[in-house]
């Protein structure tokens, strides 16, 4: 790596909260999870407030499932992490950065196969399950920028494949953010009409929290 890249990476990595001792819940993934952290209002912050317990936060804006250096790679974020629950998302930056809206098949296959068994996402989830963690995969909402366009299609494919993965393992749950988001409700989105507003992050936490209360 070029030396001039090291300091920015370290500074950005420091923006993450890490994992408090004894935390049974850890959040990882990309900017949807990390957004509003500067106001103590990220998904992890909201989960912590709602559940009344510490929640680890390893999420990083720009993080990918495929590629990415250090904490900008989602599997790297979780390397060696053990917790009762792992809440995460991923794949949007891979799709946005490596394919257009009509030619995402190869990237989708690398992320997760049609049957939900192979690819970077199932590999990470299987590894977390072997460590004893239960997993909540937070599937993306539809943004105002993509609603009604061809760009929705790859995310629908991703959701269907992740659902097949979750259906095959009782220790994996899919939380569909579209259950609490509406693309025409701009109060749920930041000014970029992509990332969650403060209210949006709170709704994601509200969606996920009941799954973490389950004891199986």
The CATH number of residue 66's host domain is 3.40.50.1110
Check residue 46 and give its pLDDT.
98
In tens, the pLDDT along 118-165 reads 999 999 999 999 999 999 999 999 999 999 999 999 999 999 999 999
Q: Which domain holds residue 99?
A: 3-212
Distance of CA 94 to the CA centre of its chain: 12
> What tokens appear for 145 in the block?
């920028």
Total structural domains in the chain? 1
Dist. CA 90–CA 88, nearest whole Å = 7
Residue 8 has pLDDT above 60, yes or no: no
pLDDT for 41 beyond 80: yes
170: left (phi over 0), alpha (psi -120 to 50) or beta: alpha
Tokens linked to 201: 């992050």
Extract the runs of DSSP E, i.e. beta strands, from 29-176: 56-57, 85-88, 134-139, 172-176
How long, in residues, is the chain? 216
Q: What is the mean pLDDT of residues 162-188?
A: 98
**Residue for token digits 């992490």?**
81
Q: Half-sphere exposure of residue 93, counting CA atoms within 13 Å on the CB side?
A: 20
pLDDT score, position 101? 85
Whole-model pTM?
A: 0.91
pLDDT at 15 over 70: no
């Amino acid at each position: 790596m070029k030396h001039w890249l090291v300091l920015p990476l370290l500074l950005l990595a420091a923006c993450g909260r890490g994992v408090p001792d004894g935390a049974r819940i850890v959040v990882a993934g990309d900017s949807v999870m990390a957004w509003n952290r500067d106001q103590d209002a990220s998904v992890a912050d909201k989960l912590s407030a709602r559940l009344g317990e510490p929640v680890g936060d390893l999420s990083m804006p720009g993080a990918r499932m495929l590629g990415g250096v250090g904490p900008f790679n989602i599997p790297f974020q979780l390397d060696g992490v053990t917790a009762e629950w792992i809440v995460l998302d991923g794949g949007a930056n891979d799709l946005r950065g490596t394919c257009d809206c009509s030619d995402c098949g190869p990237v989708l296959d690398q992320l997760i196969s049609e049957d939900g068994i192979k690819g970077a996402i199932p590999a990470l989830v299987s590894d977390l399950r072997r460590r004893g963690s239960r997993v909540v995969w937070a599937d993306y909402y539809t943004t105002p920028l993509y609603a009604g366009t061809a760009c929705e299609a790859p995310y629908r494919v991703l959701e269907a494949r992740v659902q097949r993965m979750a259906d095959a393992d009782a220790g994996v749950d899919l939380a569909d953010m579209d259950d609490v988001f509406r693309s025409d409700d701009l109060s749920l989105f930041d000014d970029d009409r992509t990332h969650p507003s403060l209210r949006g992050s709170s709704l994601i936490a509200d969606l996920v929290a009941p799954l973490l209360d389950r004891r199986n």
